[in-house]
Structures are given as structure tokens and as C-alpha cells.
Amino acid sequence: MSSKPTVLFVCVHNAGRSQMAAGWLRHLAGDTVEVRSAGSEPANEINPVAVEAMREVGIDIIGQIPAKLTWDTAEASDVIITMGCGDACPIFPGKRYEDWKLTDPAGRPLAVVRQVRDDIRARVQKLVDTLRT
């Protein structure tokens, strides 16, 4: 990994879990990590309940736009984290892969999305700790 690792969060629609994870990583790691997120079938917009849950903790993800997962994006990333949604990512030697089993916040009430948000925060904090070692 370079001195500034690149982390890619992937879920199908790139509208909830992956966007919350990217928001947390930007918040917790600042500019020490390049953060990306993408989906195999990106939605038209970010899940508004995910936006609200993140806003509650002072993180604004409303300006993020769901993006299509591309081969180049995956190849240029050091760490690729899928959000437990069965997405198939291209496999490149030397990359670090993780699959986080997370509840899909789509269509869920704010109380459930808060739990997902907090679970993601804990996982991202562990990720940040490993990137610094």
C-alpha cells in the first residue's frame, strides 16, 4: 500500500451502507485515506433515511452520488470492502478484501438505520486502526 491507501466500499445500489461507510471513513481518517464507494446497480439517489441517520452524528452525505462499480476503480483500490450484499468484485492479487455482513437499510425505519450506522462506525474505526499500522 502507498502512504495514502485507497479504500473502496461496494454494495449493490451504493445508496446506503457503502455511502455511510465512506462518510465514516472520511470523518475518522480525514485526508489520510482516499475514499471511494460504488455499486453494481447504482440507485438514482442516496437513501434519505441513511442521510438523516448520518446527519444526526454530524456527517453530511447528501451530496454523494451513487456510482457504478468499474474495473478501473477496483483495480486502483488497496482495500475493497463489500457490504454483505453478494456483490462480485473483480479480484486482483495483492488487494485486501473484506465482506461486512450488514443489514440493508433500504426501506427500514430510522431506528434500524441508526443501528446499521453505529455498526458501520465500529467497523470503520477498526479499519482505520489497521491502516495506520
Q: Which of 7, 8, 10, 11 is catalytic?
A: 11
Q: Which of 61, 85, 102, 116 is catalytic?
A: 85
Catalytic site includes residue 11: yes
Catalytic site includes residue 89: yes
Catalytic site includes residue 2: no
What is the DSSP track for the chain? --SS-EEEEE-SSSSSHHHHHHHHHHHHHGGGSEEEEEBSS--SS--HHHHHHHHHTT---TT----B--HHHHHT-SEEEE-SS-------TT-EEEE------TT--HHHHHHHHHHHHHHHHHHHHHHT-
Q: Which of 89, 113, 124, 127 is catalytic?
A: 89
Q: So which residues are the catalytic ones?
A: 11, 85, 89
